[in-house]
Structure 1
C-alpha cells in the first residue's frame, strides 16, 4: 500500500486491533486478485495474519504457495523462519499441505538447516520445530533429506553436524531446549534400521548431549520432561533389541550346528 504522508497519519492513530483487521482485509483482497503471488512484497507478519484469519481453502492455498516461494527465493531470516513454523501451528488440518509444498522446493530444507543458529534462539526454536514436523509427517525418505541438509549446512561451517542442535540445549530458553529435544527424538527414532538409530543417538551423545542430560533433567518443565522421557524410553528399547541380537550371535557361536 503506497500512501503519502497525509494518508498515513490517520492510519497510525488507529488502535492495534483495527490495524490488524485492515492488514487482514488487505491481504484478502490481494490474494483474490493474485497480489499474494508477489511474495517478496509481503512481510512475515502479513503471512501470519492471513494464516490466522480463517481463510477459505482457495485463499489459504494461495497464501501457502506464496510462503513457499518467499522461503526459497529470499535469504533466510528470522521472519521467514518464524513464518514457516507458524504455518504448522495455525493452519490445523492444512499443515500437511503446507509442509508438502515446502518440501516441493529443492532448496527449502537446506535453507532451514542453515537457519539452525543458536545465536538466534527465537528463529532457531521455530526452525527446529518445523524440521521435527517434517521428519514425522513427511514421506519415507524425508528423514534422509533432512539429515542430508543438516550435514551439508554443518560442512559449510566446518563444524560437527549436530553441534548447533546440542548448543541449542545450552540456551536458557526452555522453549528452545524443548524444540531441540523434539528434533533429536525425531532424528533418532525415524530410521527403521537399529544400527542407524544407534549411530545417530551415539553421535548426539558424543557431541555433548551426554554431558547435558543431567542438567536438562533438573529443569522444571513438563514439555521438556516429556521429550527427555521419550529419548530415554527409545534408548532403552534399542538397547534391549541390541542385547537380544548379541544374545542370538552368542548362541550361534556356542552352538553353531544346533538346529
Structure 2
C-alpha cells in the first residue's frame, strides 16, 4: 500500500499469527528493494486487548517507530471501517473516506523530555543549528520531529544534512527532520528526512508536526494544506486539541512470500 508514494508492506496478523516473531532483521530484509519486497515502512497488524487492534510500524532499517501518518491512512483503508487502534505512540482513531482516510493522531507533545531531547531546551525555538538550518521547533506526534522553517525547502541539501541531524546526540532516540517553506496563509511546502528511512515522497507525521509548529509560530491558520513531493495532506489542529490528518491512500498489490527465506 502507499500514501502519496510513501509505501508500505502490510502484514495482517489479526486473525492468524505470523509464522514467527517479527524482528528488526526480518523487517529490514522485507523492506529491501533489491532482495525483498521493498518499502519505506513495514506495518504489522495484530490483536489488541485494549483497542480494536494493534498497529506496529517498522522503518526500512528495521527500527520500530511509534507512529506513521501515511501508514495509518493505509490501515484505515484496508480495515474499511472506523476504528481506534493501539500504536507505540498511543491510541489513534482511523476513519476511511471515499478518497483516502482521516486519522486523529492525538495531541502533540512539546516538553523536552517527551520529544525526547538529551537535555532541557525550549522546544518552541531551540538554540541549535546545523549549518544554515537553525532554530528548529521540536514536536512529538507519536514520534520525534525537528521542524525548520526556511525560505526555500527545495534548496536545502536534506540528503546530506538530514542524517547528521537525525543522529545528533541531542536526540537520544534519533529524530525526523522537516524543512518547510511558507506557500500561503494556510499552505506549507515540506520535505522530510525520515528517521530510519531517509528521504521519502511523503511523511504524514512530518506534515502533522510541521503544521502544528507553523500554527504555534503564527505562520499559518488551521486547517493547513501541506504539499510534499508526493502530494497534499490536510492538517487541522487547535492548541490543546488533537491533530486531524486527511489524505489519500491506496492498495498497490497483494502477494505471498516464503517466511523462512527472510527469517
TM beyond 0.5: no
Higher strand share: 2
Larger relative contact order (C-alpha < 8 A, sep ≥ 6)? 2
Q: Which structure has the larger Rg over C-alpha atoms?
A: 1
Higher helix share: 1
Q: TM-score, normalised by structure 1?
A: 0.31
